[in-house]
Amino acid sequence: MPASPSTLLARADDATASLAPGYFALVMATGIVSVGLRDAGLSGAARALLVVAAAGAAVLVVLSLLRGIRHRARMRADARSPERAFGFFTTVAAASVLAVGLQAEGAGRAALVLLLLGAAIWVVLGYVLPWQVLMARDGEPILARTDGSWFVWSVASQSLAVGLSGLTAGSGAAADLLGVLTVMAWSVGTILYVGIAVLVILRIVHFGITPEQFEPTYWVSMGALAIAVVAGTSIYAMDPVPMVEAARGLIGGTVVIFWCFALWQIPLLVGAGVWRHLAHRVPLRYQPTLWSMVFPLGMFAVASMKLGRTEHLPVVEAVGKAGLAVAVLAWVAVAAGLVLTLARGLGPGRR
């Protein structure tokens, strides 16, 4: 017998209170798989997933607003937690990925609104959250709590570069400003990646990492490189304006290095997953952070196809098409886990 309305409301409120700040990775993952399907010529499937991504974003926006109203203390605590704070940057990346999908559908005005919203959130969070994490100490060492979710900060910046590179500003001062903002977003994301990578390596060297601590968010270390490749190749193809021309040579060379390093990381991450789930038998069950693994898989596929076509590298493009198949399967598996989890939540037993 189904749960009573009062029970369902209580469960819904409890779920809202514990909503992960990084749950917008669901939108990121769905949106980038949609972009990959479109690049592969499957426009119908791409459009369907874009609708799913938009619907997911709408639901998460409502839940986040409710959480801010009803559980403000929990949200404030998340903003000060090194393990959870950087998940808020998934809102920026989700808005940018949706904007890219809308650009492909010809909805340029809606895409521009999303990019402006994402940029505004990025500016605010980019200064507020690191301050909260680094300055609002709770007695525990910060370095020991650095993890893969920190790379989402870099991803958010690169996602803005991807979205901005798809805009058309005509000529003159507007085009020059667009070039400056796009190159700046790519550059900030790249420097952030380097700094965060150093912190994560220092954490592992000094404090180690247990199988339970190796969350799927560590896959974002690869996804952040992949999106830097997408942003870089997009900037390389932009109309010639002073800032783009000044950075074109540097960006054109680094994207190949970034792609190679992203590819190198994949066996490492897969091996770590085997170590976590098979060697140490950590249960593999649905959790929101799994979307943080699907997104890098989809982004690497898109990066490979884009780089292969731009630089005329058929082997790289073939890797991207194979990676897209893996990303689609991963998306289906994680989406099925989400549906089953929601179905259990509607049942008579406990969540």
Domain 5-345 has CATH 3.40.50.1000: no
How much is the pLDDT for 351? Answer: 42
Lowest mean pLDDT among 4-13, 54-63, 91-100, 311-320: 4-13
- Grade residue 5 by pLDDT with cuts at 50, 70 and 90: low
Q: Is the pLDDT confidence value at 55 over 80?
A: yes
pLDDT recorded at residue 8: 62
Each residue of 79-101: pLDDT tens digit?
888 889 999 999 999 999 999 99
pTM of the predicted structure, to 2 decimals: 0.92
Q: Provide mean pLDDT across the span 199-225.
A: 93
> pLDDT tens across 10-35, in order?
777 787 888 899 999 999 999 999 99
pLDDT of residue 53: 96
Long-range contacts of 259-265 (CB under 8 A, 24+ apart): 259/225, 259/226, 259/229, 259/303, 259/304, 259/307, 259/316, 261/225, 262/222, 262/225, 262/226, 262/229, 262/300, 262/303, 263/300, 263/319, 265/221, 265/222, 265/225
Segment 34-43 shows an average pLDDT of 94
Q: Where are the domains of the chain?
A: 5-345
pLDDT at 170 over 80: no
Q: Take residue 323 and report the two structure tokens written for it.
A: 């990676």
Structural contact between residues 327 and 60, judged by C-beta atoms closer than 8 angstroms = no
Q: How many CB atoms lie within 10 A of CB 321?
A: 15
Pairwise CA distance, residues 6 & 120, whole Å: 38
Instruction: Report the amino acid identity of residue 8.
Output: L
pLDDT beyond 60 at 339: yes
**Pairwise CA distance, residues 161 & 184, whole Å:** 8
Q: Which of the 8 DSSP states describes residue 142?
A: S
Q: How many residues does the chain have?
A: 351
For residue 325, the tally of other CB atoms under 10 A from its CB is 12
Average pLDDT over residues 199-208: 93
Query: pLDDT tens for residues 247-296?
Result: 888 898 899 999 999 999 999 999 999 999 999 999 999 999 999 999 99
Question: DSSP per residue over 66-112, as a string?
Answer: HHHHH-HHHHHHHHT-TTTGGGGGHHHHHHHHHHHHHHHTT-HHHHH
Residue 102 has pLDDT above 80, yes or no: yes
- Helices within the chain (DSSP H only): 5-17, 25-39, 43-70, 72-79, 90-104, 108-135, 151-165, 173-207, 220-236, 242-274, 291-310, 314-345
Percent pLDDT > 90 in the chain is 69
Q: Is the pLDDT assigned to residue 124 strictly greater than 60? A: yes
Average the pLDDT over 133-157 and give the result.
85
The encoded tokens of residue 269 equal 């991450």
Are the CB atoms for 328 and 52 separated by under 8 Å?
A: no
